[in-house]
């Protein structure tokens, strides 16, 4: 999965103040520590998973939602670590479900170590996330992340239920985006707000909107590629039977796509050909405009009481989500 560009991430860290960079460094160090004492195999694959790339967008949101300048509290570090470990665990488990060979251009745990080891690695990351929050001795952060984890599971079940279903509509698709991606972004902002002693609802709504837009644009990138940019073959969603907004809209515009049996798309070449048809239909512009509208709405909904520096940092995160498609 692609993430905001390096320049944008650096700008967000700078906008958050010196504390943001220090917290993010502590987050990376802490995650490595947490997976290092569970046997050689789990330690190796767990470490490879959390160091495999990505720009730590969710823990970055935790930091920015807390306060600007960021206070380097232990509660903040624990929250940022926990949300990133849950995210990493879901990626490992998703790769098992999808039988994926690559993640961010590198072999997945299931490809290199097999299904059982991948499941154990994901379980380890997931359990360490909640152990971190439990060590903080406060119930509310655990409640927030637990609710997000439950929603993630519901979203995955919904995606499996919708696989190869040509009748999936836009409303159900967007609800799936909210469950699969938006809720963890929401939790990131809520956890940061809780650690910083700020109201969490408005920042949570911002995070959820950014997360939905993130997923929308990720689904567009699956159609446009290239693999060097996304870390996975073009049309992977089609091969997995995952119905996304570009396909939903393209089927309305192209009679040939409307009659396509999605199970007939079996090879990378066939998937690429369908991607070309989706792009030619104009559906990508429709999906992109929807994502941009979601981002604009999220930015507009930021509470008036936010300090200007914190608002600017959050808006930079939102702009970075859009930058992924530029």
| C-beta of residue 9 within 8 angstroms of C-beta of residue 320 | yes
| pLDDT tens-digit readout, 29-53 | 999 898 888 888 888 888 888 887 6
Alpha-carbon distances, residue 252 vs 272, 278, 322 (angstroms): 19, 11, 25
Higher-confidence position of 12 and 216: 216
Rounded CA separation 106/98 (Å): 15
Q: Which ranges constitute the DSSP H helices of 99-200?
A: 109-113, 115-135, 139-162, 170-177, 183-196
| C-beta of residue 235 within 8 angstroms of C-beta of residue 275 | yes
| C-beta of residue 215 within 8 angstroms of C-beta of residue 158 | no
Mean pLDDT, the chain, integer: 89
Instruction: Check residue 104 and give its pLDDT.
Output: 77
| pLDDT tens-digit readout, 70-110 | 667 889 999 999 999 999 999 999 889 888 887 877 888 99
Higher-confidence position of 108 and 286: 286
């Amino acid at each position: 999965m692609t993430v905001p560009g390096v320049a944008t991430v650096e700008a967000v860290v700078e906008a958050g103040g010196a504390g943001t960079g220090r917290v993010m460094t502590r987050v990376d160090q802490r995650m490595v520590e947490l997976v290092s004492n569970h046997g050689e195999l789990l330690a190796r694959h767990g470490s490879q998973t959390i160091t495999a790339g990505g720009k730590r967008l969710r823990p970055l949101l935790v930091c920015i939602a807390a306060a600007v300048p960021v206070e380097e509290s232990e509660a903040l570090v624990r929250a940022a670590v926990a949300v990133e470990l849950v995210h990493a665990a879901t990626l490992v488990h998703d790769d098992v479900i999808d039988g994926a060979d690559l993640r961010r251009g590198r072999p997945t745990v299931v490809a290199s170590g097999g299904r059982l080891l991948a499941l154990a690695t994901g379980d380890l990351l997931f359990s360490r996330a909640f152990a971190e929050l439990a060590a903080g001795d406060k119930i509310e952060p655990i409640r927030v992340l637990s609710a997000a984890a439950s929603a993630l599971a519901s979203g995955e079940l919904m995606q499996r239920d919708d696989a190869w279903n040509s009748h999936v509509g836009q409303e159900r698709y967007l609800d799936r985006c909210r469950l699969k991606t938006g809720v963890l972004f929401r939790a990131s902002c809520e956890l940061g707000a809780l650690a910083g002693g700020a109201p969490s609802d408005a920042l949570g709504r911002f995070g959820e909107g950014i997360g939905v837009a993130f997923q929308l644009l990720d689904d567009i990138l699956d159609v446009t590629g290239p693999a060097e940019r996304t870390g996975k073959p073009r049309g992977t969603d089609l091969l997995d039977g995952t119905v996304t907004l570009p396909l939903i809209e393209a089927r309305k515009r192209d009679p040939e796509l409307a009659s396509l049996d999605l199970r007939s798309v079996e090879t990378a070449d066939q998937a690429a050909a369908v991607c070309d048809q989706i792009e030619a239909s104009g559906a990508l512009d429709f999906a992109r405009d929807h994502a941009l509208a979601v981002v604009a709405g999220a930015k507009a909904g930021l509470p008036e009481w936010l300090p200007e520096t914190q608002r600017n940092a959050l808006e930079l995160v939102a702009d970075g989500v859009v930058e992924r498609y530029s």
